[in-house]
Amino acid sequence: MANLRRRGSSLFPGLLLLFVGLLLLLHNYRGLGIVDVLGHWWPLILIFWGAVKLYERMAASRSGDPGAAKITAGEVFLVLGLLSLLGIVVAAEYFRGNIPGHFREWGNSFDFDLEVAPKSVPADARITIRNGRGNISVRPSDEAQIRVSGKKNAKAWSENDAQKVADGIGVEIVKNGDGYEIHPDGAGASDSRINLDLDVAVPKKASLTIRNEKGDITVADMAKPVSVANGVGDVEIRGTNGDVSIDTRKSDIKVSDTKGSIKISGRGREINVSGATGGLTIEGEFYGAIRADKVAKGVRFISQRTDLTLSQLAGHMEASPGNLEIFDAPGNLNVRSQDDITLENAGGKVKVDNRRGNVEVRFSVPPKDDIEINNSSAGITLSLPESSSFEIVADCHSGDIDSEFQSDSLKLISGTGSGDSHLEGKYGSGRGPKIILKTSYGSISLHRTSSDIPAPPKPPRVKAPPAPEKPEEH
């Protein structure tokens, strides 16, 4: 049997792995540019490979095994694989530095302080804040000047790269016509990798305009009108004395304790408004819940599904997808919708035009103004105090009318062959409002409530007779 010759393993794979590993390590921690190194020095890999194989051949010849220094298929695949790895790193570097948008936003976040020199302005100045990305917080100041502080948040793969991005941008305060403007400044002002979080103090009597693309906005305790246009991010405004205007593409909005009118438009998520001495106008499509509490001059809400006019809101309103609820509205109410509607304690005229949603209206005291409800493909429920007086005309196509109010002057014609029902007449001894109810493919129900009847007096409390005295024992 021929003797098997032991072939020595090559040094090249190990040395090549050490070289490439050291190259990547220097790239990650020292910022070594692999693109520059490979672009100029890639032939060194071939020179290094050839030198190692020449040394191995000379050593193999001395040991009597010249075949041990051959270039193997494994070495070829190793070289190609490592070159592919380096190519991926180079491509990633190119995409981070040259491709805009989300590719450049990958990496870690690093914060750097933002320093802006204050600027003196008139106490009633018009001030505009323009920002690309980042949160904005505005608070009032008793000083007649603008002061800006905050953070520069940069995204990059290393802190050194983030520092370079942050150094290229700042914030300046400039006079613009008869007003003043706060905006980013520098070569990197449009760089999507950086966010500017601004904390701004302005004179309390200044009128304020804010324009932001992405980020949360907070404004508190301003004495003059506030206008906000925000792309993506939450908006909160509280304690203002002037009108408030908000336009958004995708925001949760909260407005509280304002002494002016409020207008919200665009598209967004939830809206919460409370304690407004003016009126509230909402125009647009908001797919979250819309809540309003105590709006002195009423609510105007316009969307693809709803057209609501409410002259006064002393209680609560909530409009969510498929549902509209209004409680304690002393003024007139006019609504067109395609949702389930619940109204309780409306104080003025009520007019409802609805489709494919049930309508329920309840009164805790006898109504004084007319009520008109038109519905289709759904039912109507009206609850009135037993002491109410009213004239009624109710028509139900392909449905029944159920009434708990009975009177000789009320005539009910139940559905027979056609399935239609009709109720007409007068109830009560006094002069009351006119009620018109119409629906199709649904029922009409009239319920009596007794909440306005005083509770019977409690019987007088009788004192228990005193217990007999126990005789003395002798």
Number of helices (H), then strands (E), belonging to the chain: the values are 5, 34
DSSP string, 205-222: T-EEEEEEEES-EEEES-
Q: Which residue has the tokens 């002061």?
A: 147
Q: What is the pLDDT of residue 66?
A: 56
Q: Dump pLDDT digits (tens) for 93-113.
A: 655 555 544 444 556 889 999
Structure tokens at 215: 């980020």
What's the distance, CA 126 to chain centroid? 28
What's the distance, CA 375 to chain centroid? 33
* 3-class state of residue 71 by DSSP: coil
Q: Dump pLDDT digits (tens) for 264-319.
A: 999 999 999 999 999 999 999 999 999 999 999 999 999 999 999 999 999 999 99
Mean pLDDT of 76-90: 68
DSSP string, 255-292: EEEESS-EEEEEEES-EEEEEESS-EEEEEEE-S-EEE
Is the pLDDT confidence value at 457 over 80?
A: no
What is the rounded distance in angstroms from the CA atom of residue 144 to the CA atom of residue 204? 9
- Please indicate, yes or no, whether the overall pTM of this predicted structure exceeds 0.75: no
Is the pLDDT confidence value at 449 over 80?
A: yes
Q: Dump pLDDT digits (tens) for 355-366.
A: 999 999 999 999
Q: What is the pLDDT of residue 71?
A: 61
Mean pLDDT of 149-154: 92
**Averaged pLDDT score across all residues of the chain:** 83
What is the rounded distance in angstroms from the CA atom of residue 100 to the CA atom of residue 91? 14
Is the pLDDT confidence value at 180 over 90?
A: yes
Q: Dump pLDDT digits (tens) for 419-428.
A: 889 999 999 9
Q: Dump pLDDT digits (tens) for 135-146.
A: 999 999 999 999
Judge whether 427 and 469 are in contact, CB under 8 Å.
no
Q: What is the pLDDT of residue 192?
A: 75
What is the rounded distance in angstroms from the CA atom of residue 40 to the CA atom of residue 251? 51
Q: What is the pLDDT of residue 61?
A: 67
Torsion of CA 159, 161, 162, 163, to 10 degrees: 90
What is the rounded distance in angstroms from the CA atom of residue 444 to the CA atom of residue 380? 5
Neighbour count for residue 49 (Cβ, 10 Å): 16
What is the rounded distance in angstroms from the CA atom of residue 261 to the CA atom of residue 254? 14
Q: What is the pLDDT of residue 149?
A: 94
Judge whether 180 and 125 are in contact, CB under 8 Å.
yes
Q: What is the pLDDT of residue 4?
A: 40
Mean pLDDT of 452-460: 45
What is the rounded distance in angstroms from the CA atom of residue 106 to the CA atom of residue 260? 43
* 3-class state of residue 162 by DSSP: helix
What is the rounded distance in angstroms from the CA atom of residue 440 to the CA atom of residue 287? 29
Structure tokens at 55: 């040394």
Question: Side-chain half-sphere of 157: how many Cα atoms within 13 Å?
Answer: 14
What is the rounded distance in angstroms from the CA atom of residue 36 to the CA atom of residue 322? 61
Structure tokens at 351: 């007019």
Neighbour count for residue 7 (Cβ, 10 Å): 12
What is the rounded distance in angstroms from the CA atom of residue 453 to the CA atom of residue 8? 108
Is the pLDDT confidence value at 13 over 80?
A: no
What's the length of the chain?
A: 474
Cβ burial 413-448 (10 Å sphere, 16+ → b, else e):
eeeeeeebbebebbbbeeebbebebbbbebbbbbee
Going by pLDDT thresholds of 50, 70 and 90, the confidence category of residue 430 is confident
Q: Are strands 410-413 and 421-427 parallel, antiparallel or unpaired?
A: antiparallel
Among the listed residues 79, 80, 58, the one whose alpha carbon sits nearest the alpha carbon of residue 69? 58
Higher local confidence (pLDDT), 157 or 248 = 248
Q: Is 5 left (phi over 0), alpha (psi -120 to 50) or beta?
A: beta
Percent of the chain with pLDDT over 70: 72
What is the rounded distance in angstroms from the CA atom of residue 313 to the CA atom of residue 292? 8
What is the rounded distance in angstroms from the CA atom of residue 289 to the CA atom of residue 31? 50
Neighbour count for residue 407 (Cβ, 10 Å): 11
